Amino acid sequence: MSESKSTARWAMGIAIVSAIMAFGSFLSRPEPNSAGSNQLTEASKMKIHGEGTLNVGYIGTPPFVMVNAKATKEDETLGGMSVDLLKEIAHRATPNIKIKWIPTTKDNLAQDLLTGKIDMVADPIYIDINRSSSCGFTSPLCYFGTAHAVMRANDNRVEDFDDLNKPELKISIEPGSPSADFAESHLDKPKFVEVKPGDSSSVAQTQVDDVAQGRVDLALLEGYPAVEQASKQNGKVKVLWIESPPSLVPGGFATRLDDYYLRGFLNTCLSDLEAEGFVSELEAQWQSIAYYKTANMVPGSGISRLFEDPAASAPAKAPASLKK
C-alpha cells in the first residue's frame, strides 16, 4: 500500500484530542502523605466491592473517551472504547460497581488523583519510566506509534528509520516527546530543529507546516498528530511507517501510585476481557489509531495427546522373524 493511500485511510474520520501527548505534571507530582494515601486506597477497595462510587476522571481522547456536549441525557454524555470497557467491568462485577464520571484536564489530572477527587483516568496515557515513578499504571491497554516521519510528498530520500542518520538532514522535533526521545537516542548525525513548546496540536501543525514549506526536511511525530496534520496539507506531505512504526509507547489507565488494589483489579479484568475477545470487539467497533498485542496460543501437550491416533502412538510390534 502506498504511503499516500495509507495516510488518507488513517486520516478518515479521525477527531484528535492530544491530551495523552503531554502529562508533565506527573513528573513533579509530590508524594502523598502515608495516612491520607492509605485512606484513599482503602476507600477504592471498598468501591470495587460495591460500597461507594468509583470516581473515574476523563479528558476526552477519541475514540477512547468521546464527549457529546449536546447530549440531553447524562448517560449519553460519554462514549468510546474506554467508556464501554469500564462500564462492562462495572456491570460484570458482583455486586455491580457504581461509576461517577468526572471531567479533568491534563494540568489538573495529577492533583485530582493525589487528592482523591478521582480514583483513575479513563483515557489511556503514555507510560514511561519517569511517569511510573510518580503515578501508577495498569498493564497497557494498547500501544501508540512514535517517530513517524512526515516528509514532502516528492521527497524519496528516506525509506527506513536508519536513513535519517545523515548530517545534511534537518529534522523537526518536539522536545521531550516520545518521538524526540527515540530520535535523539538513535540518531547522532542529523541537525535537530526544536519547535517551541505549546499544546500538542499546535506544535504538530507547526512541524508539518515547516515540512510543507521546506523549512525542514522532515518532522518526527507520534502517529495521531502526524496523520491528522498531514491530512490537512492537500497531498503536499506524506507520513512514513504508519503500519510499522520505528517505536511504540504503551498506553494504560492511570491510578494513584500506591493504589495496588485497584490496579490489580483492573489488570485482572483486562486479562479476562482480552482473553475472551471482548477488547478486540470493542477496538473493531471504535477503530482506534493504536496497536494491540495478540496472543499466539498453542495447545498444551495434554490436549495434543487427546487427539493422537492410538495406533500411531502404540509401540511398534517386532517383526515375526525376530520372535522366539
Among 25-39, 42-56, 209-223, 241-255, the minimum mean pLDDT is found in 25-39
pLDDT band for position 10 (cuts 50, 70, 90): very low
pLDDT at 56: 97
How many secondary structure helices (H) and strands (E) does the chain include? 12, 13
* Range 24-40 average pLDDT: 55
Of 246, 212, 247, nearest to 229 by C-alpha is: 212
Q: How far apart are CA 86 and CA 270, in angstroms?
A: 10
Give the Cα separation of 298 and 251 in Å (integer): 27
Give the integer Cα–Cα distance in Å for 253 and 140.
Answer: 8
**Across the chain, what does the average pLDDT equal?**
85
Give me Rg for the CA atoms of the chain: 25
Residue 3, pLDDT > 70, answer no
Handedness of CA 151, 156, 158, 159 (dihedral sign): positive
Quick one: angle between helices 34-48 and 260-275, nearest 10?
30
Quote the DSSP letter at residue 291: B
Cα–Cα distance between 49 and 94 in angstroms, integer?
7
- pTM of this structure: 0.78
Beta strands of 191-231 (E only): which ranges?
Answer: 191-194, 218-221
- In this model, does residue 263 exceed pLDDT 70? yes
- In the chain, the domains with their CATH numbers are 18-143+249-286 (3.40.190.10), 148-240 (3.40.190.10)
Under DSSP, the state recorded for 56 is E
Which pLDDT belongs to residue 320? Answer: 60
What pairs with residue 172 in β-bridges? 193, 219
The backbone torsions φ and ψ at residue 59, rounded to the nearest 5 degrees and listed phi first, read -110, -45
Residue pLDDT, tens place only, 277-310: 999 999 999 998 899 988 788 888 888 788 776 6
The pLDDT value given to residue 131? 83
